[in-house]
Amino acid sequence: MTAGSAQKTVSPVPHKREDLIKSILDLKKERNAIILAHFYQDDEIQEIADFIGDSLELSRKAASTTADVIVFCGVHFMAETAKILNPKKIVLIPDHDAGCSLADECPADKFKSFLNKYPNHFVVSYINCTAEVKAQSDLICTSSNAVKLIAKIPKEKEIIFAPDRNLARWVQEQTGRKLTIWDGSCIVHETFSEEALLKLKLKYPDAKVIAHPECLPNLLDHSDFIGSTSQLLNFSSQTEFERFIILTEPGILHQMKIRNPAKEFIEVPGIDGCSCNACPYMRLNTLEKLLRCLHSMSPRVEIKEATRLKALEPIKLMLEMSD
Ligand code: 13P
Ligand code: SF4
């Protein structure tokens, strides 16, 4: 059967985990599909994925895959980026509601009015935004290449940076470039408690604090290393340190523990002690929904062609500039 053939009716989801996993793998093969997953997915989704990565690595993988179908176990802007790069492929996302607070806080019409106030600015958007916002941007960046890319923009250019104010402030600090910043944030990375972090640092003075740049500046100030999810994973694997306090979504701990079974990884709780450091959008995807989407070949990610073509340019530029 080929990827585009008639949709199957949804068969019952097996109760046993091993049967569920076998059904997904069989159907994946039948559809000639690839499963891409972000590090914030549940462990069992990471286990079944063909490729796990940060936003930049996932974009690169989406750009190079020969599969007919991309099942994107991540959030909507990531699946949308895969579709922008692969208009002819079917891109599925197990739960269509897997959004992102950063993308939600930057609606395309308001962004357009914002840009009108700053004519002649070079517009850099963090990949965590909608296709419509990408289509209004000159360059896309991710947390792994934002500093490098901003540093490459000619000094005389004035720059708009959207939609994450925390990443923007950190990039500003690292590059010395003044940025005009859109006021958005990640609801997950802004929940970490500084008080809890300081208590953990006192308890484990040898631990290295490693943080995602979406965290608030007061948390980043206490960090020994700041980077994208993959960069945090690499730092924890490639350095000699044995204990780490992690300031990002705890999904990343799964790969950290697999790659470093003898090392210790400590989560930081949210401000009121809650476990709201888990991304509520990422965690909407489940194995059951993954099977259903491969059966029904939906939900699919679709983008208007005019928007896609405009959004493709700044993504292509990012991929070229970050080589
Ligand atoms: P990374 O690109 O670092 O994986 O970040 C994606 C993201 O959504 C972080 O919240
Ligand atoms: Fe968006 Fe934050 Fe979730 Fe990342 S962790 S997908 S930035 S809401």
Give a three-class secondary structure readout of 97-135: CCCCHHHHCCCHHHHHHHHHCCCCCEEEEECCCCHHHHC
Q: 269-312 pLDDT, tens per residue?
A: 877 767 678 999 999 999 999 999 999 999 999 999 999 999 99
**pTM, entire model:** 0.94
Q: Provide the total of helices (H) and of strands (E) in the chain, helices listed first.
A: 15, 12
Q: 50-81 pLDDT, tens per residue?
A: 999 999 999 999 999 999 999 999 999 999 99
List domains and CATH numbers for the chain.
2-97+281-303 (3.40.50.10800), 102-187+311-322 (3.40.50.10800), 194-267 (3.40.50.10800)
* Best probe residue, ligand 1, of 75, 81, 212, 318 (max atoms within 8 Å of C-beta): 212
Tokens describing residue 106: 């930057």
pLDDT at residue 256 tops 50: yes
First to last CA, the chain: 37
Instruction: Please work out whether the CB of residue 55 comes within 6 Å of at least one atom of ligand 1.
Output: yes
* Best probe residue, ligand 1, of 41, 54, 234, 318 (max atoms within 8 Å of C-beta): 54
Q: 19-29 pLDDT, tens per residue?
A: 999 999 999 99
pLDDT at residue 10 tops 70: no
Largest Cα–Cα distance in the chain?
Answer: 61
Sequence-ordered strand ranges (E) for 96-242: 122-126, 139-141, 159-162, 179-181, 208-211, 225-226
Q: 176-233 pLDDT, tens per residue?
A: 999 999 999 999 999 999 999 999 999 999 999 999 999 999 999 999 999 999 999 9
Helix, strand, or coil (residue 279):
coil
In terms of C-beta density within 10 A (0-12 exposed, 13-18 middle, 19 or more buried), how is residue 241 classed? middle
**φ, ψ of residue 255 in degrees (nearest 5):** -70, -35
Ligand 1 atom at minimal distance to the Cα of residue 232? 3
User: Which residues face 1 on adjacent strands?
Assistant: none
1 pLDDT band (50/70/90 cuts)? very low
Q: Quick one: pLDDT at residue 5?
A: 46
Order of strands, sheet of 264-267, starting from the edge strand that comes earlier in the sequence? 225-226, 208-211, 243-247, 264-267
**φ, ψ of residue 34 in degrees (nearest 5):** -120, 140
- Centre of ligand 1 to C-alpha 74, Å, is 10
Q: Quick one: pLDDT at residue 11?
A: 60
pLDDT at residue 95 tops 50: yes
Give CA–CA dist 258/237, Å, rounded.
10
Give CA–CA dist 299/7, Å, rounded.
12
pLDDT at residue 9 tops 70: no
- Pocket of ligand 2 from Cβ distances under 6 Å: 75, 100-102, 128, 186-189, 214, 249, 279, 281-282
pLDDT at residue 6 tops 50: no
pLDDT at residue 40 tops 90: yes
